[in-house]
Amino acid sequence: MRARRHPRKRQPARLRGLTLVELLVTLTLLALLAGAALPALGALLQRRRLEGASSQLISDLQLLRTSAISRHRALRLSLQDLPEGSCRMIHDGEAGDCRCQADARLQPLTECRTGVTLLQAALLPRSQRLRLQSNAASLRLEPRHGTLTPTATIEIASEDSTQRLRHVVSLLGRIRVCAPAAPVPGVPAC
């Protein structure tokens, strides 16, 4: 006769967590990886801001053209540098007929002479770490011939000028965008 064996009770598997040393090694590796990725992330964010500001400028120039032609009157895009940033205004009248300031929320506050119509005002705040430079303070679009005078070069650059986009605006109002400094993906070099 065989002796019956009683099955042994299995001990529950020991639950194992991370030791303090393993946790510290993991956190150190994560900190090193984050430290290496942060500069690249900062450059990516700055490039996105630059591309966004460029798109807004191009939209303003297109709005200037379509508004002048549809209203059958000359309109201007005036650029004004402020301590808080750069202001762009679309209006009729002469170059100095509208002035821009920034309020506490960094919204443009404009004041125009009597009889001058302001269509749009936008502010590129310094908090975005971008600056706008142009060789012309005001561009006038004549609706009859669709010409823009004077021709202009408008640059939007990062504070450290490592990333820049140059907008060359022709007499016919065509806009050519190029990158004069470091390459910007999707934008030809100047």
pLDDT, tens only, 6-36: 666 665 556 667 788 888 888 888 888 888 8
Ranges 8-22, 30-44, 165-179: which has the least confidence? 8-22
Q: Give the whole-angstrom CA distance, residue 52 versus residue 145.
A: 30
- What mean pLDDT is reported for the chain? 89
Q: Minimal CA–CA distance to 77: which of 66, 49, 177?
A: 66
The pLDDT value given to residue 12: 59
| Lookup: tokens for 41 | 């992330």
Phi (first) and psi of residue 170, to 5 degrees: -85, 175
